[in-house]
Amino acid sequence: MIALRNSIVKTQFVTNTELKIILDQQVYRYNHASFIQDDPIRIPHRYTLLQDIEITAFWVAMLAWGQRQTIINKAEELFNLMDNAPYEFVLNHSEKDKIRLLHFKHRTFQATDTLYFLAFFQWFYRENHSLETAFWSDALKESPTVEPALRQFHQLFFSLPDAPERTRKHLSTPERKSACKRLNMFLRWMVRKDEAGVDFGLWQRIQPAQLLIPLDVHVDRVARRLGLLERKQTDWLAVLELTDRLRQFDANDPVKYDFALFGMGVLEEPPYLSYKV
């Protein structure tokens, strides 16, 4: 086993096999129930009903800007306004109930965006059992990645006649070459399933092998230092490049390494970044 030291060291070049060992160790370290408490994923973990989990997980992922505790606080504020029963609120809220949401905001996410999210969910769940339906298409059957799912969902989400233009900036799409970090994180939560129990694994049709890495600034930084990512831009092509690289370590579940890269970049000191292929 390769030891990971607790002090900054000079760059140590390692083989692919050694790097896989390092990354697997970090997945084991962070893909654990103890991870939940300090991460925004703790919000959907408070619920047991499928639709409550989907709604809270999606909304939390879309609010995932800034410090994790701030995201948790804002999510708690939002769902408190829904009486901590989001599915019930989505389906049965009145016009009067919407008033309580008018002052909710998080950075550039404003009341207009909140009300449209609410309208979309009400429209969708009145006709569908699970949000997975919104992502699923025949194109996914033959696709190596979830790219068709992201494109389809974006089109569906903004298909309501009163969809505000300003809300589009809160929902990314590969068509705009975005890294789609928040959507890929949401899909990781919904699709991945293992004994650790951090990710929910509630969806069955989309496969873990199709998932793409949620590429934020921390994952990007660690991946570059480890020689896993060469593209200069942090965009959609960078997501594909990094995920392809991670498939060399686990073709069936490449996105499990999000735990390793995120943990090494946010939760630990920098010595892990001294390793490079």
Q: What is the pLDDT of residues 232-248, one digit of tens each?
A: 999 999 999 999 999 99
pLDDT at 180 over 80: yes
Pairing of strands 275-276, 12-13: parallel
Question: pLDDT category, 9, cuts 50, 70, 90?
Answer: very low
Structure tokens at 267: 């939760």
pLDDT at 211 over 90: yes
Query: For residue 1, what pLDDT is reported?
Result: 43
| Cβ atoms within 10 Å of 195's Cβ, excluding its own | 5
Question: pLDDT category, 15, cuts 50, 70, 90?
Answer: confident
For residue 20, the one-letter residue type is K
Nearest to 135 by CA among 120, 152, 147, 121: 152
As a whole number, the mean pLDDT across the chain is: 92
Mean pLDDT (whole number) for 81-103: 96
Query: For residue 13, what pLDDT is reported?
Result: 65
What is the rounded CA–CA span in Å between residue 263 and residue 265? Answer: 5
| Cβ atoms within 10 Å of 159's Cβ, excluding its own | 10
- This prediction's pTM: 0.92
User: What digits encode the pLDDT tens for the residues 136-148?
Assistant: 999 999 999 999 9
Nearest to 101 by CA among 91, 112, 85, 87: 112
Q: Which neighbouring-strand residues pair with 12?
A: 275
DSSP H helical ranges for 192-235: 217-225
Determine contact, residues 250/12, Cβ cutoff 8 Å. no
Question: What single-letter DSSP state applies at residue 160?
Answer: S
CATH hierarchy code of domain 1-30+213-277: 1.10.1670
- List the domain boundaries for the chain: 1-30+213-277, 49-210
pLDDT at 274 over 60: no
Mean pLDDT (whole number) for 255-261: 97
Mean pLDDT (whole number) for 111-130: 97
Distances (CA, A) of 40 to 10, 106, 172, 273: 34, 14, 19, 25
